[in-house]
Structure 1
Amino acid sequence: MTDSVQRDSAVLVHFTLKLEDGSTAESTRANGKPALFRLGDGSLSEGLEQALLGLKTGDKHNFSLPPESAFGAASPDMIQYFSRRDFVQAGEPEIGAIMLFTGMGGSEMPGVIREISGDSITVDFNHPLAGQTIQFDIEVLEIDPVLEGTHANPVG
């Protein structure tokens, strides 16, 4: 067990994400359930991993990341247009609603209903925080925690 976050560490953290206007986008403190991340598995942006490296258990770190280092820039390619008849099964969509859509490979993608105009419905598949500078407030609770239900397999 290391005493600081490394490139392949698992880290148990409490975090709060705030937008530039000061509003909270997400917080693990609200429900009292910390998040577990593994660096290097592709789930975190490079910028966020860089900010975590070297932190120790008990460290609290506040920092901002620009959109390209946080959740990416909003891409116009991720805005799709559908016909109202595509929503017959799902019911009447509402602006701002998040709906799950099935992609070509069968995977589900969340999309936000942005506009309803006559027979045309605009859906945004960008990450809801894409294009925004994010203020991170992270507290490292544990590095490489021993998780219940996992067992080390001795070799040899």
Structure 2
Amino acid sequence: METIKKNDFVELIFTGKTKDGNIFDTNVPSEAKKIDLKIEEKPFVICVGQKMVVEGLDDSLEGKEVAKEYQIELPPKKAFGEREREKVRLIPLNIFTEKNIMPKQGMVLHLDYQLVRIASVSGGRVLVDFNNPLAGKEIIYEFTIVKKINEDKEKIDSIINYFLRKKLDYTLEGKKAIFEVDKSLEPLINMLNDKFKEIMGVEMIIKSKVKDKMGDENNSSQ
């Protein structure tokens, strides 16, 4: 039977647990229901070897067979990293109150685009843990590769969704993917082009959307 190789695109179903059995992530509806997790009702497609999932899970996909169930155990360094003491910091309380946040011990929230945990609150200072909540823990993943993706459109859609979290209009012409996007999105497309070419062997070409002049004139005359 054919096995999965680096840069293959696959549809993956998975459940991540801590060693004590607590589910922290899944795209399996029956498992998500156990932790009241809302999940997208669409296939989860990734490119193997491109770090689109946790490192240890990504590494383990190579050599696996389609439609077979697997379970792996990952040490912290292959999962969410070791805990680092320097990532526990004292921060003035007013940093939070200025954002209308009243921190409490045990609270998990986003701060400076990171997920952090409030370790303690004392006087005017807050002890904040910037370590990933799963740092330092051994992790178990149960997963199945549902199928290998062969259609270029599905592959391109998965890359765009992962890196840009958007649905974009494009046409595929040979080794070129021509994107018709607003000018504001052009820098994001340009940033992604090298990675896109590496994975797909296809160049991203930008075609700016042309505004309807008649519509613009009508709007300006109102």
Q: Is TM-score (shorter-chain normalized) higher than 0.5?
A: yes
Pairing 1:1-156 to 2, within 5 Å after superposition: 3-29=2-28, 30=32, 31=39, 33-90=42-99, 91-102=101-112, 108-144=113-149, 146=151, 147=154, 150=157, 152-155=172-175
- Per the normalisation by structure 2, the TM-score is 0.59
d(CA) in 1 for partners of 2:66, 2:43: 14
Change (3 A) 1:43 1:77: farther
d(CA) in 1 for partners of 2:71, 2:104: 36
Between Structure 1 and Structure 2, whose CA radius of gyration is higher? 2
Q: Mind listing any 5+ residue stretches in structure 1 that lack a counterpart?
A: 103-107
Aligned to 2:216: none
Using the TM superposition, give the Cα deviation of residue 72 of structure 1 relative to its aligned residue in structure 2, in angstroms: 1.0
User: Residue deviations 1:17-62, cap 9 Å, x none?
Assistant: 1111111121111245553332332344543233111112212101
Where relative contact order (Cα < 8 A, 6+ residues apart) is larger, the structure is 1
d(CA) in 2 for partners of 1:114, 1:135: 26
Conserved 8 A contact 2:149-2:155: no
Q: Which has the higher strand share?
A: 1
- Per the normalisation by structure 1, the TM-score is 0.81
Conserved 8 A contact 1:12-1:145: no
- SS of the residue corresponding to residue 173 of structure 2 reads coil
Change (3 A) 1:4 1:135: same
- SS of the residue corresponding to residue 11 of structure 2 reads strand
Using the TM superposition, give the Cα deviation of residue 86 of structure 1 relative to its aligned residue in structure 2, in angstroms: 1.2
d(CA) in 1 for partners of 2:42, 2:136: 27
Give aligned pairs, total: 150
d(CA) in 2 for partners of 1:148, 1:155: 14
Change (3 A) 1:9 1:87: same
The Cα RMSD (Å) is 2.6
Q: Mind listing any 5+ residue stretches in structure 2 that lack a counterpart?
A: 33-38, 158-170, 177-222
